[in-house]
Structure 1
Amino acid sequence: MPVLADLHAVTWEAGLLGFAAGLLISVVTAPVGVSGAVFLLPVQLSVLHVPSPAVTPTNLLFNVVAGPGALLRYRRNGQLGGALTRLLLAGTLPGVVLGAFIRVFAIPGPRVFRLVVAAVLLPLGVWLCVRALRGTVVDRPPLSRHTILALGVLVGSVGGIYGIGGGSILGPILAGRGVPMTQVAPAALASTFVTSIAGAATYGMIALTTSGDIAPHWALGLLCGLGGLIGGYLGARLQPRLPEQALRMLLGVLATGLAVLYLVQTLT
């Protein structure tokens, strides 16, 4: 089983696995605005054995390197930018800085995190799948600006704590409240990219004055991110070719799968 040689070196087996995982995951997640980091985290923890809390900034580094692939494609399609992106950034940027400090100095246990995320994503994922199977796009009224801003702060904090993209939580919520996937995906990925830069920088500054495994694993993060860069571009290129119903089903399956994964990890 490929593992890290140490915190600053990476075996070629681990590097190849990280690159392949980043690529394959991002191809699937980019069309619905979900950062591949949310599914890469279990690989880093269970297979590559990245130490904690270094796994969080390593995942943030993955987002920084991988993000431009999908964002470049969305920009070419004229989908990048807009009020939703600005609103998400206004919430997630302060949230990720707060989350980084919580992760280092007052982190709650991963068991609680997994249970909370599973409780949120499982009903959302199942609901999206059911709505997609029914073939209807009639949704609840859109969320208010204040609610979206508050959700941005929340998922930004989660991203700062665990190094995952907030799109994995925001995507199902926004899509389920009537926001078209063509708006959800680029806005969620843009906020994940910018907040990951801020989060990684915050961890870097904390590492200068605090002992422990706080700095990211640079080699692994870059290799995973390179795979995600390619996969994200390919996934974003596929999005316009996929109908809204199929994208909602894909997002529902991803949300449900992640919830089940975290429940299994919690119970075993």
Structure 2
Amino acid sequence: MDTGWQTGLAGFAAGLLISIVTAPVGVSGAVFLLPVQLSVLHVPNPAVTPTNLLYNVVAGPGALLRYLRSRGFDRALTRLLIAGTLPGVVLGAFLRVFALPGPRVFRYVVAAVLLPLGLWLCLRAVRPSRRVRPPLRSGTVAGLGLAVGTVGGVYGIGGGSLLGPILAGHGIPMTTVAPAALASTFVTSIAGAGAYGLIALTTGAGEIAPHWVVGLLCGLGGLIGGFLGAHLQRRIPEAALRFLLGALAVALALSYLR
């Protein structure tokens, strides 16, 4: 595909705006960037997935730098998430290339991820749980990470952005969840992008390589937007932001099911 300055500007703006909204809740923004790639930037399948992972790699340090300055990292939680999502995202990359190559199936996978994620966000925004839940066991967190990381590798979202809402719904504060989820997304996206590159190199399938220009420009926008979004986290009502994200995810999922 040809990338003119209009396409590059659109990608930068999309990454910037999406990450400003999503970074406060620990979502990299790739989950919402993917339909922009398909419909606006016209990145072909299956290159959209590694391009999304490239976006995460470039954009991730923006929000992470801000959260590091605020000293909100829970190192134990972050290690558990990475321990599960890291092998999962590599497995998901192989499944995406060899088991789910068709665009129709891919759209159904997108909808299957977005719909429950959106409904979960909306439910927790409208009816926050007041029940005190017992702490999650280490094995449970790592197991969730493995499952979500596999889906994230297929979808190109790293995995942490799906774990964030689950952990927050269990009662873990968003100030703790967001940095850990973003750190997990960043690390697993590096592994996922590397896995796609290795598959492309060893099989000669150039169509599964990322679109570098789109990924870098979107990521640059996400780098700036993520820093700004993380800075705004404590100033935006958490419930309102989660409901907005959930409603957008549900709308996108329903559009893919048509």
* Class of the TM-score when normalised by the shorter of the 2 chains: over 0.9
**1:226 and 2:230 aligned:** no
Q: Note the C-alpha offset of 1:165.
A: 4.0
Alpha-carbon distance in 1 for matches of 2:174, 2:183? 14
SS at match of 1:178: coil
Q: Counterpart of 1:261? A: 252
Q: Note the C-alpha offset of 1:251.
A: 2.0
**1:46 and 2:39 aligned:** yes
> TM-score normalized by structure 2?
0.92
CA contact (8 A) 2:72 2:176 kept: yes
Alpha-carbon distance in 1 for matches of 2:123, 2:132? 11
Q: Note the C-alpha offset of 1:164.
A: 1.5
CA contact (8 A) 2:111 2:256 kept: no
**1:74 and 2:67 aligned:** yes
> TM-score normalized by structure 1?
0.89
Q: Which amino acid aligns with 1:63?
A: N
Q: Rate the CA distance shift 1:114–1:235 in 2: closer, same or farther, 3 A.
A: same
Overall identity of the aligned pairs, in %: 66
Q: Note the C-alpha offset of 1:118.
A: 4.1
CA contact (8 A) 2:161 2:185 kept: no
Q: Rate the CA distance shift 1:139–1:46 in 2: closer, same or farther, 3 A.
A: farther
Alpha-carbon distance in 1 for matches of 2:115, 2:31? 16
- How many residue pairs match? The answer is 254
Task: Deviation per CA, 1:42-86: give whole Å up to 9, x if none.
Answer: 000111111111111111000000000000010011113411101
Choose the corresponding residue for 1:251, options 225, 228, 242: 242
**1:36 and 2:23 aligned:** no
Q: Which runs of 5+ in 2 are unaligned?
A: none
Question: How big is the alpha-carbon RMSD for the aligned residues of Structure 1 and Structure 2?
Answer: 1.7
CA contact (8 A) 1:114 1:266 kept: no
Alpha-carbon distance in 2 for matches of 1:259, 1:143? 27
Q: Rate the CA distance shift 1:254–1:167 in 2: closer, same or farther, 3 A.
A: farther
Q: Which runs of 5+ in 1 are unaligned?
A: none
Alpha-carbon distance in 1 for matches of 2:97, 2:135? 35
Q: Rate the CA distance shift 1:114–1:218 in 2: closer, same or farther, 3 A.
A: closer
Task: Deviation per CA, 1:98-124: give whole Å up to 9, x if none.
Answer: 011111111171243134224422431
Q: Counterpart of 1:63? A: 56
Q: Note the C-alpha offset of 1:247.
A: 1.4
Choose the corresponding residue for 1:112, options 102, 108, 115: 108
Alpha-carbon distance in 1 for matches of 2:250, 2:152? 16
Task: Deviation per CA, 1:157-189: give whole Å up to 9, x if none.
Answer: 122111114243212211111000001100000
SS at match of 2:168: helix
